[in-house]
């Protein structure tokens, strides 16, 4: 198995939710940036890892920006700018806009993790919540009564995620396309009956005959991936998402979830109440 040059170790737990706006790929590094809204179970080490990776990605993007800006200044400093130089300048300026856009996405993802860390630092300790008792729970966005939430003890295990790349196969594909449809036409043909005339023309009769369709063979080169792989964003490799459990034993933790959506509630505080309230 050939791994990609940059293996993005997502130190996350089981359970990536439906892909949302905070998940996006940085095509230069074949990485995936993941925001906290896309992860079910959040814990400190995970946030630290994502923040460190955001920083590393930003440094690499800054390096690419610096290189492109240097190339731009070098071309512009040559004096009279030729046509091919103007084309190159436009390409570099477009690339700089793309890099700036990517930096904004990384900054947005980083800020989301910083914000969630601040929320978690003020969250209440839910380890002692008893699923047999009733509470009024204040979350990040709203207040929950017993009918609105569920308390569960779950197992968390760390996983390593990465993208495996392999070469695209170029396969020859041929197909026939119809260039002229089937039709009929009238033709003079020799009569099958005895014709006694000395003039051959007298022995010809008009017949309606079928004219078959005409076809042309088109040969093309198609890109094909092995089973389980899909063509990646740049269309120059085949990609497959892979994962592997790491670490030791799983950890048992208490979590609180919304009943309607099964989304985790970040508990700010809670108060035990009577179950008949």
Residue 3 has pLDDT above 80, yes or no: no
pTM: 0.47
Q: Could you give the CA distance from residue 18 to residue 34 in angstroms, rounded to a whole number?
A: 12
**Do 147 and 203 sit in the same domain of this protein?**
no
pLDDT over 50 (residue 64): yes
23 and 112 in one domain? Answer: yes
Whether 35 and 88 map to the same domain: the answer is yes
The rounded percent of the chain whose pLDDT value lies above 90 is 8
* Listed ranges 7-11, 43-47, 99-103; the one with the highest mean pLDDT: 99-103
Domain housing 70: 1-121+158-167+225-249
Q: Are residues 67 and 16 in the same domain?
A: yes
pLDDT band of residue 43 (cuts 50, 70, 90) is low
Q: What is the mean pLDDT of residues 25-32?
A: 66
Let me know whether 128 and 244 are in one domain: no
> pLDDT digits over 85-129, tens only?
888 888 888 888 888 888 888 888 888 888 888 877 777 888 888
What pLDDT, on a 0 to 100 scale, did the predictor assign at position 200? 76
206-258 tens-digit pLDDT: 888 999 999 988 888 788 888 888 887 667 778 888 776 666 666 777 888 88
pLDDT of residue 145: 92
The pLDDT-based confidence of 149 (bands split at 50, 70, 90) is very high
Q: Does residue 113 sit in the same domain as residue 207?
A: no
**Structural domain count, the chain:** 3
Q: What is the pLDDT of residues 264-275, one digit of tens each?
A: 888 888 999 988
The segment with the largest mean pLDDT, out of 12-16, 39-43, 242-246, 259-263, is: 259-263
Reply yes or no on whether the pLDDT at 5 is more than 50.
no
Task: Give the model's pLDDT for residue 227.
Answer: 85
Measured over the CA atoms of residue 225, residue 35, residue 45 and residue 128, the dihedral's sign is: negative
How does DSSP classify residue 168? P
Q: Per-residue pLDDT for 171 more than 60?
A: yes
For 33-82, the DSSP string reads: E--GGGBSS--HHHHHHHHHHHHHHHHHHHHHHHHHHHHHHHHHTTSSPP
Across the chain, which distance is largest between two alpha carbons, in Å?
119
> Average model confidence (pLDDT) for the chain?
78
Residues 140 and 266 in one domain: yes
More confident residue, 226 or 78: 226
Regarding whether 106 and 23 lie in a shared domain, the answer is yes
The arithmetic mean of pLDDT across residues 46-72, rounded, is: 85
Q: Tell whether 9 and 72 lie within a shared domain.
A: yes
Could you tell me where the beta strands, DSSP code E, fall in the chain? 24-26, 31-33, 134-138, 143-144, 149-156, 159-166, 169-180, 183-190, 204-211, 214-224, 230-231, 238-245, 251-258, 269-273
Query: Same structural domain for residues 3 and 107?
Result: yes
The half-sphere exposure of 165 on its side-chain side, counting CA atoms within 13 A, is: 16
Shared domain check, 89 and 39? yes
Position 50 scores a pLDDT of 82
pLDDT for 8? 32
Over residues 28-54, mean pLDDT: 72
Same domain as 189, residue 84: no
Model confidence at 28, pLDDT cuts 50, 70, 90, reads low
Whether residue 54 is predicted with pLDDT greater than 80 in this model: the reply is: yes
- Residues 182-193 pLDDT 10s: 999 988 888 767
């Amino acid at each position: 198995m050939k791994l990609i040059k940059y293996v993005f170790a997502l130190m996350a737990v089981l359970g990536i939710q439906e892909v949302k706006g905070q998940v996006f790929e940085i095509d230069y590094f074949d990485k995936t940036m993941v925001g906290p809204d896309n992860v079910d179970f959040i814990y400190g080490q995970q946030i630290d890892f994502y923040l460190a990776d955001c920083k590393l990605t930003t440094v690499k993007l800054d390096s690419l920006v610096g290189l492109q800006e240097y190339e731009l200044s070098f071309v512009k400093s040559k004096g009279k700018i030729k046509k091919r130089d103007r084309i190159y300048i436009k390409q570099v300026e477009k690339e700089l806009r793309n890099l700036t856009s990517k930096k904004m996405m990384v900054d947005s993802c980083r800020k989301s993790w910083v914000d969630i860390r601040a929320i978690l630092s003020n969250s209440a300790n839910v380890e002692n919540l008893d699923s047999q008792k009733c509470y009024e729970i204040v979350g990040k966005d709203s207040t929950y009564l017993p009918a609105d939430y569920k308390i569960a003890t779950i197992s968390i295990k760390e996983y390593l995620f990465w993208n495996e790349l392999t070469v695209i196969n170029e396969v020859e594909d041929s197909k026939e396309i119809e260039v002229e449809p089937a039709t009929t036409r009238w033709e003079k043909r020799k009569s099958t009956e005895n014709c006694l005339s000395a003039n051959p023309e007298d022995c010809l009769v008009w017949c309606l005959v079928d004219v078959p369709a005409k076809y042309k063979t088109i040969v093309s080169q198609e890109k094909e991936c092995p089973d389980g792989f899909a063509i990646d964003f740049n269309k120059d490799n085949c990609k497959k998402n892979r994962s592997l459990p790491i670490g030791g034993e799983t950890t048992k933790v208490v979590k609180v979830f919304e009943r309607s959506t099964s989304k985790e509630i970040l508990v700010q505080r809670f108060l035990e109440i009577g179950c008949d309230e």
